Amino acid sequence: MERAMYFLDQKDMPTHWYNIIPDLPEPLPPLVHPATKEPLPKEGPLPPPLFTDSVNKQEFSQERYIEIPDEVLEAYRTYRPTVLHRAFRLEKALDTPAKIFYKYEGTSQAGSHKPNTAIAQAYYAKKEGVKRLTTETGAGQWGSALAFGCAFFGLECKVYMVRVSYNQKPYRRILMETWGAQAVPSPSPDTEVGRRFLAENPEHTGSLGIAISEACEDAYANDDTKYTIGSVVNHVLLHQTIIGEETRKQMEMADAYPDIIVGCIGGGSNFAGQFLPWIRDKLSGKKPDMRIICVEPYAAPTLTKGPYAWDYGDIAGLAPIVRMYTLGHDFIPPPVHAGGLRYHGMAPIICHLYKLGFVEAQAVHQVATFEAGVTFARTEGIITAPEPCHDLRVAIDEALKCKESGESKTILIAHSGHGHFDLAAYDEYLSGRLQDYEYPEEKVKEALKNLPEVPAF
Ligand SMILES: *Cc1c(COP(=O)(O)O)cnc(C)c1O
């Protein structure tokens, strides 16, 4: 009998994260200082001291494999290795010759891949004597993961949560508070940036860009405090490569190799964590025809509609300027349920690989993603978060293409988490109330007017 689940023994868990930077065919563009507009030195560090020293070093590291500290491995062992599944029941329902695998990150304590970096960042903060971490969160997945990481290492944690989610989605706020973090709605009266936006509009519903600015300002203002981010930057993608490193071993157990890898991208961390350990085979020419498909919502079509430009990571210009595909730092996303996919920019590493033609991008509509999520629930059983429902849509479409062509491709899905706190979205879908949103082309053009001017260098 063929196996439906591939377990990796804890003693065989990878001991290193994989750093793509030395293997990139061309170097990444530099980061640019938000105030001086000068490029930062390639070897770092980031100014001013926003992050812990350890992750600041990792951000620019040229080391191919970076050892995972023992304390981090020990924390990982409370939920890792995660299982690689073969989706036999989905394959059968689709009547496809494709082999579908999914690596499932929903079994972590926070229900997603995000603890993989939250634990690492909290550990380094503890080691460096930092007392308190700040961050932003949209729907609350990252905030809850960081709250969990801080609980593990005994740190204080303050989370600036986009106000509309704070009001509409209490469950992840309650998770944060249960793990001992403080969550406030952003814009908040606690920072200058927050007070500025509240003065303009006391009912401001907030955005990730504003919440990032608040969390950065808080970290600058307090010596015992560092800022953390849950996606986008190099060191977060690095920590997430534990996913792909495990999957490589598990696919070997299954005697399989992916022809297509699909994943959703918000800032790009879960998907990069899966595909970076594979893309080295594409870059080296060992598997040149491997397809890596980044999936995003039509409501926030960063790669598929945004230009490749210099832009701020946040709304107040406190975070560095990066070269990325962007919808503009003042992007206010339409209210789709995939809260994790609504950031205006994208991980520079993914943007660079997309620009060079090594990864593809596809946009999908919300209703179609939930249709895929329901098919998955009724076959594989898992209630999928709205974000990875995007992967399921594209994976199902690719499997159906195999049915037409008769090809037996191997499809690997980067399944980033469960949707137990997103049942209201399923309810809207099931009752026929769910709508599609397409971000208008004019708005993409309009946002470009506010991009920072970076001199050529
Ligand atoms: C946050 C989140 C995402 C999007 O973030 P990335 O950095 O792009 O991975 C995707 N899926 C889940 C379940 C999330 O919580």
Q: Per-residue DSSP letters for 383-431?
A: -B-HHHHHHHHHHHHHHHHHHHHT---EEEEEE-BB-TT-HHHHHHHHT
Q: Whose CA is nearest to atom 15 of ligand 1?
A: 141
Distance separating alpha carbons of residues 114 and 109, to the nearest angstrom? 10
Predicted confidence at residue 49, as pLDDT, reads 77
User: Does the reported pTM lie above 0.85?
Assistant: yes
Predicted confidence at residue 340, as pLDDT, reads 83
43 versus 233: the higher-pLDDT residue is 233
Predicted confidence at residue 330, as pLDDT, reads 84
176 neighbors 159 (Cβ within 8 angstroms)? yes
Distance separating alpha carbons of residues 289 and 273, to the nearest angstrom? 20
Both tokens of residue 205?
A: 């519903």
328 neighbors 289 (Cβ within 8 angstroms)? no
Bridge-partner residues for 294, per DSSP? 263, 361
Average pLDDT over residues 291-298: 97
> What sign has the CA pseudo-torsion 143, 148, 152, 154?
positive
Ligand 1 pocket, 268 CB below 6 A?
yes
423 neighbors 328 (Cβ within 8 angstroms)? no
Distance separating alpha carbons of residues 165 and 172, to the nearest angstrom? 9
Average pLDDT of the chain to the nearest whole number: 95
Burial of 224 (0-12, 13-18, 19+ CB in 10 A): exposed
Distance separating alpha carbons of residues 18 and 5, to the nearest angstrom? 24
347 versus 441: the higher-pLDDT residue is 347
Q: Which of 18-22, 109-113, 166-170, 349-353 has the lowest mean pLDDT?
A: 166-170
Average pLDDT over residues 226-244: 96
Average pLDDT over residues 61-87: 98
Ligand 1 pocket, 388 CB below 6 A?
yes
Q: Whose CA is nearest to atom 5 of ligand 1?
A: 266
Residue 362 alpha carbon to ligand 1 centre in Å:
16
Q: Which of 183-192, 254-263, 308-317, 407-416 has the lowest mean pLDDT?
A: 308-317
Predicted confidence at residue 48, as pLDDT, reads 63
Burial of 105 (0-12, 13-18, 19+ CB in 10 A): buried
pLDDT of 353-396, one tens digit each? 999 999 999 999 999 999 999 999 999 999 999 999 999 999 99
Both tokens of residue 335?
A: 């209210």
Residue 265 alpha carbon to ligand 1 centre in Å:
7
Q: Which residues contact 302 (CB under 8 A, 6 or more apart)?
A: 265, 296, 325, 326, 327, 343, 344, 345, 346
Distance separating alpha carbons of residues 359 and 345, to the nearest angstrom? 17
139 neighbors 161 (Cβ within 8 angstroms)? no
Residue 406 alpha carbon to ligand 1 centre in Å:
33
3-class DSSP state of 209: helix
Average pLDDT over residues 291-315: 94
298 neighbors 364 (Cβ within 8 angstroms)? yes
Ligand 1 pocket, 229 CB below 6 A?
no
**Residue whose entry in the numeric block shows the structure tokens 């308190």:** 132
- Which of 211, 453, 443 has its CA nearest to residue 327? 443
Q: Which of 14-18, 202-206, 234-238, 274-278 has the lowest mean pLDDT?
A: 202-206
Distance separating alpha carbons of residues 57 and 321, to the nearest angstrom? 18
Determine the atom of ligand 1 nearest the C-alpha atom of 385.
Answer: 13
**β-strand pairing of 84-86 with 5-6:** antiparallel
Ligand 1 pocket, 416 CB below 6 A?
yes
Predicted confidence at residue 13, as pLDDT, reads 98
Both tokens of residue 391?
A: 């992967």
> Strand ranges (DSSP E) for 55-211?
65-67, 84-86, 99-104, 132-137, 156-162, 182-186
> Strand ranges (DSSP E) for 45-138?
65-67, 84-86, 99-104, 132-137
Ligand 1 pocket, 386 CB below 6 A?
no
Please report, for residues 160, 295, 348, the alpha-carbon distance to residue 389 in angstroms, rounded to integers and kept in the order given.
26, 10, 24
Residue 39 sits at φ, ψ, to 5 deg, of: -65, 145
Distance separating alpha carbons of residues 8 and 4, to the nearest angstrom? 13
- Which of 136, 160, 207, 232 has its CA nearest to residue 447? 207
Domains with residue ranges and CATH for the chain: 5-12+80-111+241-448 (3.40.50.1100), 22-63+114-234 (3.40.50.1100)
Please give the single-letter amino acid code of residue 381: G
Predicted confidence at residue 47, as pLDDT, reads 67
Average pLDDT over residues 230-250: 97
Average pLDDT over residues 289-317: 93
Distance separating alpha carbons of residues 44 and 57, to the nearest angstrom? 7
b (16+ CB within 10 A) / e for 270-293: bbbbbbbbbbbebbeeeeeebebb
Predicted confidence at residue 130, as pLDDT, reads 98
Both tokens of residue 198?
A: 């509240």
pLDDT of 96-142, one tens digit each? 999 999 999 999 999 999 999 999 999 999 999 999 999 999 889 99
3-class DSSP state of 222: coil
Q: Which of 7-11, 181-185, 277-281, 339-343 has the lowest mean pLDDT?
A: 339-343
Please report, for residues 24, 114, 226, 398, the alpha-carbon distance to residue 393 in angstroms, rounded to integers and kept in the order given.
29, 22, 38, 9
Distance separating alpha carbons of residues 299 and 239, to the nearest angstrom? 28
**Residue whose entry in the numeric block shows the structure tokens 């938000």:** 34
457: pLDDT strictly greater than 80: no
Residue 144 alpha carbon to ligand 1 centre in Å:
13
